[in-house]
Amino acid sequence: MRSLLVLSLLLLAGGCNFDHYGLLPEQEGPDGAVDGPVADGGIDAPPADSGPDAPVIDAAVDASVDAAVDAAVDAAVDAAPDAAADAAVFDAPPCADPDVNPMCVDRAVLGTVSGDTASTPLTTSGPTEAWYLVNIDENNGATLESVTAQVDLISPPGVDFDLFVTCAACGDARTVSSTNGAGMTDTVQVGRDDIAFTNVSYVILIEIRWISATACGDWALTVTGDVTTTVRPCN
C-alpha cells in the first residue's frame, strides 16, 4: 500500500528525478550495451534533475511523500475504532415495539393471591403493553376482614408505562390507576369489604399501558395480597 502511494505521488510530481527512484527503464545502445535511462530527451538524455537544485528538489519530494504516507496511515488507524464502534451500534438489535395495543379479553391469567391471609406475591415482567387477570381470594372465614391487594408496576429508566386496574370484568367502571413518569413505580391498591357468611373473593384485571420511551427496558409487575388499605374500589 505504501509503495503504491509513493508511486502515485511521484507520478504527479512532474519535475522530480524518476531515475532517482529507479522508475525509468534502461535502454540498450547500438552495441548492445545498456545506456542510461530513457527520458523525454531520448536515449542517453541527461537526467531531468541533473541541475544544481536537484538534491533540494529530491529531498522535498521525499519529505512530501513520507508526510503524505504517514498522514494516510494515521487517518486509517484513527478511523478503525470509530468504524468498529459504529458497526457494533448498528448491529445491535432494536427495542421491541412496546405499543402493541393488546385487548382486555386476551389477557393472561397471572394467578391467585389471598386477600385476607399471607400468600406468595405474583410477579412478572416484559417490554410491551399487557393485560393480566388476578384472583383475589377470601380465605379467612373465622373473622370479618376486608379482602385487599396491592399492585406495583416499576417502569425501566427512560421508559414510561402506566398502571390501570379494573374490578370484575373488562369495561367495568370501577377502575383505579397510577400514571407516574419514566423509571418510576406506579402503585394501585384494591379492596372489598367482607360480608358475613359470604365469600367475597373477586377478580382484578391489570392493564400495563405504554406512554413514551427514550430507551429500551422491561417493566416489573408485583401483586401482593392482604395489605393494609382503606380503599374499596371493588365493593
Does any domain span residue 151?
yes
Of the candidates 91, 117, 151, which is a domain's last residue?
91
CA distances to 116, 138, 186 from 147, rounded to whole Å, are 5, 6, 21
Does any domain span residue 7?
yes
Residues 109, 86, single domain; the answer is no
Does any domain span residue 232?
no
Does any domain span residue 197?
yes
- Which domain, by its residues, includes 37? 2-91
Q: Around Cβ 87, how many Cβ atoms within 10 Å?
A: 10
Per the DSSP assignment, residues forming a β-bridge with 161 are: 210
Q: What is the dihedral of CA 40, 16, 48, 35, to 10 degrees?
A: -70
CATH number of 198's domain: 2.60.120.380
Concatenated DSSP letters of the chain: -HHHHHHHHHHH-TTS-TGGGT-SPEEE-TTS-EEEE-BTTBTTPPPTT-STTHHHHHHHHHHHHHHHHHHHHHHHHHHHHHHHHHHHHHHSPPPP-------GGG-EEEEEEESSS--PPEEEEESS-EEEEEEEE----SS---EEEEEEEEPPTTEEEEEEEEESSTT-S-EEEE---TT-EEEEEEEE--BTTB---EEEEEEEEEEEESS---EEEEEEES------TT-
Residues 52, 87, single domain; the answer is yes
Of the candidates 62, 91, 120, which is a domain's last residue?
91
Contact 161, 217 (CB under 8 A): no
Residues 109, 192, single domain; the answer is yes
Q: Distance (Å, rounded) from C-alpha 202 to C-alpha 134?
A: 9
Does any domain span residue 128?
yes
Q: How many residues does the chain have?
A: 235
Name the burial class of residue 78, with classes exposed (0-12), middle (13-18) and buried (19+) by CB atoms within 10 angstroms of its CB. exposed
Residues 121, 77, single domain; the answer is no
Q: Distance (Å, rounded) from C-alpha 99 to C-alpha 96?
A: 9
Residues 136, 186, single domain; the answer is yes
Of the candidates 66, 91, 116, which is a domain's last residue?
91
Over its length of 235 residues, how does the chain's per-residue pLDDT go in tens digits?
555 544 555 554 454 454 554 544 555 555 555 455 444 444 454 555 555 555 655 666 566 667 766 776 576 656 655 554 444 333 445 888 999 999 999 999 999 999 999 999 999 999 999 999 999 999 998 999 999 999 999 999 999 999 999 999 999 999 999 999 999 999 999 999 999 999 999 999 999 999 999 999 999 999 999 999 999 999 9
Residues 177, 212, single domain; the answer is yes
Indicate the number of domains in the chain.
Answer: 2
